[in-house]
Amino acid sequence: MTSSLTSRPFGTLSTGEQVSAFTLVGEGGLSLQVITYGGIVTHLRAPDRKGSLDDVVLGFDHLAAYLAGHPYFGAITGRIAGRVTGARFTLEGRTYDLARNNPPNHLHGGLVGFDKRIWAAHSVARSDGAPSLRLTYHSPDGEEGYPGSVDVAVTYTVTRDNAFIIESEAVADRATPFGLTHHGYFNLAGESTGSIADHELQIHADEIVAMDENNTLLGQRVAVAGQPNDFNHPRRLGDAVPHLYLQHGDLYLIRRTESTGQPPGLIPVARVAEPRTGRVLTVSTTERFLQFYTGVSLDGTLTGKSNRPYRSHAGFCLECEGYADGANNAAFGDILLRPGQPTRHTTVYSFSTY
């Protein structure tokens, strides 16, 4: 298959801003469509063991459905991915109050986070010829209550060996908390199949961060050994999810070990296998945390690309990120972006079969 990168109109916002869709096709068959609204990956087609392609992410075919509201399907979330406790933080002696858009906390950057912004898009020439698209956004001082201006770039690449690479970088003109993630909802059997129950999940982590009934991070490390949220050995989600706290999934501290064959700092953190299609998703990242989310809050009110409702556990998320409440609790990792100190991270979603 020949690699390619093409674009087309995807719709218009009420402001008159145009939204474009870009399709990246890799030589190995993996392809994705991303729109400039929120950097949302609307489609991700991966081959199964027979070579047949299926769309393996939840989402919509039309802009109107995204504008009507959705649980961050396939979006870039920020300035901070995750929940800021109490929707406030203190930095350099000043307290900043943020939107309580997920009471009592601040979630995924606020009311109009990066997932609802228009990103500029430019193709990137790579030496290996893989299709690559660079998305950029300027976040002004005070946006959603955050201090300082931030220039962000997120680059999507589809390789010949069926890897979806996400590279992010950011610079700021004053200190500000910052951390992105890709919020894709995966279903390796195909987004229309309705359930992730038969997927087998493995997460390379020994600890989680405890949370309460509001999914508020409590700043406490908890060992997973022997517990329902221990995925160090592959487990069928249909068996495991009913025993998870709130059936939600946890924030895992990634076990940082050396990994042969991976670039410095990039290590495998999770593996998911789907037995019917033979698809395997392997996730690697330079980030320190992995949020596993089971899609428990999907309730059938949203209808997806196949005209079927997305019900509870129709898709799962593996969000590689920093510690969202790091501005309030630096013990779990400093997420402050400082002038003259750019931040860079890479996450790779690799697809294969067995």
Q: Return the bridge partners of 294, or none.
A: none
Query: What's the angle, vertex CA 117, arms to CA 251 and CA 4, rounded to 5?
Result: 90
Rounded distance between C-alpha atoms, residue 69 and residue 302, angstroms: 9
Q: Is the CB of residue 292 less than 8 Å from the CB of residue 224?
A: no
CA proximity to 164, closest of 4, 3, 347: 347
Rounded distance between C-alpha atoms, residue 163 and residue 204, angstroms: 20
Q: Is the CB of residue 183 less than 8 Å from the CB of residue 297?
A: no
Host H or E run for residue 34: strand 31-35
Q: Is 138 a catalytic residue?
A: no
- Lookup: tokens for 291: 């949020």
Q: Is 238 helix (H, G, I), strand (E, B) or coil?
A: helix
Rounded distance between C-alpha atoms, residue 271 and residue 291, angstroms: 14
Catalytic site residue from 70, 319, 321, 345 = 319
User: Rounded to 5 degrees, what are φ and ψ at 11?
Assistant: 145, -175
Q: Is 319 a catalytic residue?
A: yes
CB neighbours of 243 closer than 8 A, spacing ≥ 6? Answer: 228
Catalytic site residue from 183, 199, 313, 345 = 183
CA proximity to 350, closest of 279, 288, 299: 279
Q: Which residues are catalytic?
A: 183, 319
